[in-house]
């Protein structure tokens, strides 16, 4: 085995490989938005199963990201990256071969573990490859644009694949790309680690992941099992105990996975709340908007993906413009403004009626897309500006973790609200039409699961128009409720950001810089990053 030559260690290779991996793993958060209808039809899934298609992936992504970064600092980021890429690729193949909702959810969880390993070491690898501050800033800008692009184009890519070879290809397409990235990473990535790296905080990781799992289970099963049932109350109690235990653990541990002292900084806390809010509202809502476009407006998955294009294009246009302005515009304006536009876009989209066409969403998509681009382009930089440079990695890792927690929690909460409202509205309309209770209950549950007009497919021909009209009204009422609720939550986060996020103080003169990591300890001295020559293989 021989070390790589300087030519093979060109930092642009590192940036390209990391960006491809990051694009894939974040694309898999939103790519399923327009595939859920076909997955529901193939498996006969209820809404809770569809929610887990998203949350089974984002839960390990949120719970393991900071730990993955710590492992990379300690045993080598290249090693963790290659292990993550291998697991993500195998998980993607297993998702494509899944034969039931449970198997799909389990394989999505495995895929999420691989994604956490990739995401945890991605930015540290880029930071180590670009030690010069100006070059590093440019590389991080490219990395940030990748985050925004992957989030935005997911529905369009998913629609093209579902309409073409089928929904399984939204996962299967990752396999050749993952194998190519694995080979390129083996040949081109340079190993790096932190000389005085912390130990992994496994108790903290277990408490956070278990607490989030209990919380999501309670939120997703609440409508079906009863919000005051012993099972749901027990899950919420367990979640509270575990998450409080996580906070106590992080506050008392010598080497915590999450330094809670960061949240004493009002600017950093405001950015973190904003990162959580935009994911829990706008990004999470795309799953239910996708179901609406496919199952209620009868668009094919690709046609539905095209209807998301205004959101995508607006985000693409806004992100690079804002990225160039972050050094000249106060971060409260870019972060708070992005959240405010996201809130306004959600509110505009939440004005649907039973006879609305997709164009009723157009204004909201454009405004929300600009807000999403602004927020994604500015939050990482604002988080970095809010903390000391020795905590840069912990800060960016925390913001990324808050994003994934936001998606997971948002999908669960919005789903619970949508299901309750749509089911209740449909049941009320069916009762007024004197439909027998047993039959009405099954139809209402299907509408609450996002089935839309498909509930009329098996009805007698004479009843189909009335049943379809009722399903459409119930669906848009449920959708309006989660979009308006999301607008309120994003608006509150925008106000918080506008009040508390402040520009960074003038930097002190230093003689050394520290490599950006996703979970670097505050005690790591400048220059403590240690590079180890990568190998080409036998």
Q: Which of 30-44, 288-302, 438-452, 518-532 has the highest mean pLDDT?
A: 288-302
* Residue 248 in this model has a pLDDT that exceeds 90: yes
Average pLDDT over residues 90-119: 92
Q: 388 falls in which pLDDT band (50, 70, 90)? A: confident
Residue 351 has pLDDT above 90, yes or no: yes
Q: What is the rounded CA–CA span in Å between residue 402 and residue 183?
A: 31
327 Cβ contact list (under 8 Å, min separation 6)? none
At residue 108, the pLDDT reads 92
* Torsion angle of the four alpha carbons 501, 506, 509, 510, in this order, in degrees rounded to the nearest 10: 10
Span 90-107, mean pLDDT? 93
| Beta strand spans in 133-271 (E) | 191-194
Domain 11-201+253-429+470-506+514-532 has CATH 1.20.1250.20: yes
- Mapped onto helix, strand or coil, the DSSP state of residue 535 is strand
Q: Confidence band (pLDDT; 50, 70, 90) for 522?
A: very low
CB contact set of 208 (below 8 Å; sequence gap of 6+)? 62, 63, 242, 243, 246, 257
Q: Which residue has the higher pLDDT, 166 or 391?
A: 166
Angstrom distance (rounded) from CA 283 to CA 270: 19
pTM of the model: 0.81
* 521 Cβ contact partners less than 8 Å away, ≥ 6 residues apart: 196, 197, 198, 255, 259, 394
Q: Report pLDDT for 281.
A: 95
pLDDT of residue 93: 95
- Where residue 505 falls among pLDDT bands split at 50, 70, 90? low
Quote the pLDDT of residue 385: 76
pLDDT more than 90, % of the chain: 31
CA-to-CA dists, residue 233 to 125, 224, 226, 230, 260, angstroms:
43, 13, 9, 5, 28
Question: Positive or negative CA dihedral for 519, 372, 354, 452?
Answer: negative
Q: What is the DSSP letter of 221?
A: H
Per-residue pLDDT, 125: 86
Q: How many CB atoms lie within 10 A of CB 436?
A: 8
High-pLDDT (> 70) share of the chain, %: 89
Which of 364-368, 440-444, 504-508 comes out lowest in average pLDDT?
Answer: 504-508
Q: What are the residue ranges spanned by the domains of the chain?
A: 11-201+253-429+470-506+514-532, 202-252
Model pLDDT for residues 41-97, shown as the tens digit of each residue: 888 877 778 888 888 888 888 888 888 888 888 888 899 999 999 999 999 999 999
Q: Name residue, tokens 């608006």.
A: 491
3 state SS of 353: coil
pLDDT at 418: 92
Cα R_g (the chain), whole angstroms: 23
**Distance from C-alpha of 272 to C-alpha of 2, rounded to nearest angstrom:** 43
Q: What is the pLDDT of residues 129-161, one digit of tens each?
A: 887 777 777 777 777 777 767 766 777 788 888
**Highest mean predicted confidence (pLDDT) among 268-277, 328-337, 502-511:** 268-277
pLDDT at 507 over 70: no
Q: Is the pLDDT of residue 17 over 80?
A: yes
- Average pLDDT score, the chain: 83
CB 488 within 8 A of CB 344: no
Other C-beta atoms closer than 10 Å to the C-beta of 411 total 29
Alpha-carbon gap, residue 147 to 153, rounded angstroms = 11
535 φ, ψ (degrees, to nearest 5): -120, 150
pLDDT band at 504 (very low <50, low <70, confident <90, very high): low
Long-range contacts of 98-103 (CB under 8 A, 24+ apart): 100/43, 101/39, 101/43, 101/45, 101/49, 101/52, 101/53
The tokens for 410 are 């948002």
In this prediction, residues 176-180 reach a mean pLDDT of 93
Residue 324: Cβ within 10 Å count: 12
What 3-state class would DSSP assign to 191? Answer: strand
Which residues are bridge partners to 530 per DSSP? 193
End-to-end Cα spacing for the chain: 5
Predicted pLDDT at 536:
39
- Which pLDDT band, with edges at 50, 70 and 90, does 389 fall under? low
Q: What is the pLDDT of residue 533?
A: 47
pLDDT at 532: 52
Average confidence (pLDDT) over 202-211? 89
Distance CA 274, CA 494 (A): 7
Cα–Cα distance, 88 to 116 (Å, whole number): 9
């Amino acid at each position: 085995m021989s070390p790589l030559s300087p030519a093979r260690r060109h930092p642009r290779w590192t940036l390209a490989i990391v960006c491809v991996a990051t694009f894939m793993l974040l694309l898999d958060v939103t790519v399923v938005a327009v595939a859920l209808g076909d997955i529901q039809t193939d498996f006969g899934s209820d809404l809770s199963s569809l929610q887990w298609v998203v949350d089974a992936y984002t839960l390990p992504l949120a719970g393991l990201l900071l730990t993955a970064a710590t492992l990379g600092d300690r045993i080598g980021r290249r090693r963790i990256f290659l292990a993550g890429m291998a697991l993500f690729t195998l998980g993607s193949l297993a998702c494509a071969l899944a034969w039931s909702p449970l198997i799909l959810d389990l394989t999505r969880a495995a895929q999420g573990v691989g994604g956490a390993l990739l995401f945890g070491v991605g930015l540290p690898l880029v930071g180590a490859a670009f030690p010069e501050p100006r070059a590093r800033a440019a590389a991080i800008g490219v990395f940030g644009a990748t985050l925004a692009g992957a989030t935005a184009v997911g529905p369009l890519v998913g629609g093209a694949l579902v309409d073409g070879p089928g929904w399984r290809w939204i996962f299967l397409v990752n396999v050749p790309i993952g194998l190519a990235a694995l080979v390129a990473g083996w040949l081109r990535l340079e190993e790096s680690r932190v000389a005085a790296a912390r130990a992994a905080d496994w108790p903290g990781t277990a408490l956070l992941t278990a607490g989030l799992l209990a919380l999501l289970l309670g939120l997703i099963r609440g409508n079906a099992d009863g919000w005051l049932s012993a099972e749901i109350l027990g899950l919420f109690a367990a979640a509270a105990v575990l998450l409080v235990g996580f906070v106590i653990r992080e506050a008392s541990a010598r080497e915590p996975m999450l330094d809670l002292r960061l949240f004493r900084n009002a600017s950093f806390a405001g950015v973190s709340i904003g990162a959580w809010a935009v994911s829990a509202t706008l990004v999470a809502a795309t799953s239910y908007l996708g179901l609406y476009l496919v199952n209620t407006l009868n668009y094919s998955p690709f046609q539905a993906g095209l209807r998301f294009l205004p959101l995508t294009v607006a985000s693409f246009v806004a992100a690079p413009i804002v990225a160039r302005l972050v050094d000249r515009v106060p971060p409260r304006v870019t972060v708070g403004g992005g959240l405010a536009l996201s809130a306004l876009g959600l509110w505009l989209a939440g004005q649907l009626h039973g006879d609305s066409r997709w164009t009723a969403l157009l204004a909201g998509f454009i405004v929300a897309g600009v807000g999403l681009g602004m927020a994604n382009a500015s939050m990482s930089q604002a988080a970095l500006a809010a903390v000391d440079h020795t905590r840069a990695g912990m800060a960016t890792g925390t913001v990324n973790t808050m994003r994934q927690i936001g998606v997971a929690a948002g999908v669960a909460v919005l789903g619970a609200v949508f299901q309750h409202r749509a089911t209740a509205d449909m049941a009320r309309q069916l009762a007024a039409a004197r439909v027998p209770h047993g039959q009405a209950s099954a139809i209402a549950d299907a509408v609450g699961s996002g089935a839309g007009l498909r509930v009329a497919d098996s009805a007698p021909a004479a009843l189909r128009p009335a049943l379809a009209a009722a399903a459409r009204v119930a669906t848009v009422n449920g959708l309006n409720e989660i979009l308006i609720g999301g607008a309120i939550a994003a608006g509150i986060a925008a106000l918080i950001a506008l009040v508390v996020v402040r520009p960074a103080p003038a930097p002190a003169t230093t003689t050394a810089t520290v490599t950006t990591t996703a979970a670097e300890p505050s005690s790591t001295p400048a220059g403590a990053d240690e590079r180890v020559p990568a190998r080409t293989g036998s």
